[in-house]
Amino acid sequence: MKLRYFLLLAGFLMTINTDGLAQQGKHTFALGDSAFLLDNKPFVIISGEMHYPRIPREAWRARMKMAKAMGLNTIGTYVFWNVHEPLQGKYDFSGNNDIAEFVKVAKEEGLWVILRPSPYVCAEWEFGGYPYWLQNIAGLEVRSKEPQYLEAYRNYLMAVGKQLAPLQVNRGGNILMVQVENEYGSYGSDKEYLDINRKLFIDAGFDGLLYTCDPVAAIVNGHLPGLLPAINGIDNPEQVRRLIKANHNGKGPYFIAEWYPAWFDWWGTAHHTVPAERYAPKLDGVLEAGISINMYMFHGGTTRGFMTGANYNDRNPYEPQISSYDYDAPLDEAGNATPKFMKFREAIMYNLPVGITLPEVPKPKLAITIPPVNFTQTSSIFDVLPEPKTNAAPLTFEQLNQAYGFVLYRTEIEGGKSALLKIKELRDYGIIFIDGKRAGILDRRLKQDSLMLDLPAGKVRLDILVENLGRINFGPYLLKNTKGITEKVTLGADELKNWQMFSLPFNDISKVDLKNSQPAANVPVLKKATFNLQITGDTYLDMSNWGKGSVWVNGHHLGRYWEVGPQQTVYLPVEWLKKGQNEVVVLELIKPEQSVLQGLDKAILNVIKFK
């Protein structure tokens, strides 16, 4: 029997059915010289990444059945600090944040889990997974030995350990390995800091197999001696073996911790797609060589709410990511098999011993088109303002103890002149109003920070509605991630003072009191309506005629839309619809005249209207 057959047979028989070994008692999982050893037998990890917050809890099991049908034996997932500790010391492991239940469902479906709970995740996720409130602690530095950071990190990790340490393979669970930090070598090279991480994980109860992962150029900086160094972003078996051996005393096993068969998208750029034919042979080659692999992503899902991240560095502009995390992955945003899924399934099947078969691929989910929704209730954003906070200078989101959403900044200025309004370090998208009428828009993506204003005579009310489009999730600017008006506003030569700040986090749309009104032209609005369904199914809200905003259905924040593209639809999962009456709320920032919402039975993720 060829090595690949032996390795894959050992691994596959461990997970071939939900009543098998993956469900019985404790197991051992260890490093051999060239292969992983599960119960002292060689084991090849065939893993796919998918993230519990990006999938409705009600759909976790269905997505895992699809993973089994493609031939995966393992699921990889990050653990997201800002999801679980949104406020310092206040933990949330309920509902869609119930990571322990996610792991348990995987076990019931015969899948192992690779856990990635490091506080920094990147993942095209807001602030790379860090909670916003870290920035309110003076002197704190993420990814460092700074004591305040380590204390906050320890507290969080202890809470995670209570949830997940009992689910490790050596305690009868299905978590095979736990990752320490995340691509740290792309950020720093402090081995003492990495060792502190290792000790924190052990203190939190993660006493099984720990590993690090880094791309090729960063593996020397990011690897901690004594831990398995996994590699990201390559799939040449000889190169993988050489790099891991060079950083692991000449030994394996060999694990590609992130393999990218596609990529993510950001606003104003084309949808990224990669032909399956380019990557299926590479997957075949990796498996034939007996190398373990975790594809990023197997299923992306949707980054709902305001949790999208952004990229930025000194060479490139600010690039906020879209809400769809379709990723051109083998499983599409709704959880259906794609041609890439079928090609990868073929590659995996080719590497299985004769007589071993995969489960049948579940049929595509029902997709429906909801009837046109006519909005009859409209409320100006100026009619839902809470009590303001006041300060001489504008306060950031962080200073207002606000994580996400919007802040309306207001002050009075002397009119009767033309002058240049300049906002220093606007983050990230600002709509300017003079006496309640829109005067212009400033967009950080386009490096816009100033606007010429023609002011009427007398006292003039200046409003600036600022949206947080996502904190940076990668690179040195992790430490410079405050939101809102982060420095100052000038009009001509004068700095504007005496600000009111109205917090609009929109974290619970049911608590927003919508007053039916007749807003002035070009004023942001909230629109509410109901629609009735005879049957339920996955559907897509067509926002291509709308401007920019967010959508909620039955209280679930589905994510953002923006006419610039490439995403023109918002995915509405069947799990969050019901027969009979459903409620939809739209926050529209720039085209308040829109009054009809159309439905589609497929996504539009590849239409760019303008930058």
Active site residues: 183, 258
List, as own/partner pairs, every contact residues 106-109 make where C-beta atoms lie below 8 angstroms and the sequence separation is at least 24, other chains included.
106/64, 106/75, 106/174, 107/22, 107/23, 107/167, 107/173, 107/174, 108/18, 108/23, 108/61, 109/18, 109/61, 109/64, 109/65, 109/67, 109/68
Q: Chain centroid to CA 44: how far?
A: 28
What sign for the dihedral angle of Cα 75, 81, 86, 90? positive
How many whole angstroms separate alpha carbon 98 and alpha carbon 163? 9
CA 280, CA 278: separation in Å to the nearest integer?
Answer: 6
Report the C-alpha gap between 119 and 200 in whole angstroms.
11
Spacing of C-alpha 259 from chain mean position: 17
Q: Are 289 and 281 in contact (CB under 8 A)?
A: no
Nearest C-alpha neighbor of 435 from the set 502, 522, 506: 522
Q: C-alpha dihedral over 193, 199, 201, 206, to 10 degrees?
A: 150
Q: How far is CA 394 from CA 447, 502, 505, 532, in A?
A: 20, 11, 17, 44
How many helices (H) does the chain have, and how many strands (E)?
10, 34
Distance CA 479, CA 382 (A): 33
Give exposure, 456-479, as e/b (b: 16+ Cβ within 10 Å): eeeebebbbbbbbbbbbbbbebbe
Minimal CA–CA distance to 105: which of 69, 63, 70, 160?
63
| 406/403 Cα distance (integer angstroms) | 9
> Which two tokens mark 206?
């993660």
Residue 374 DSSP code: E
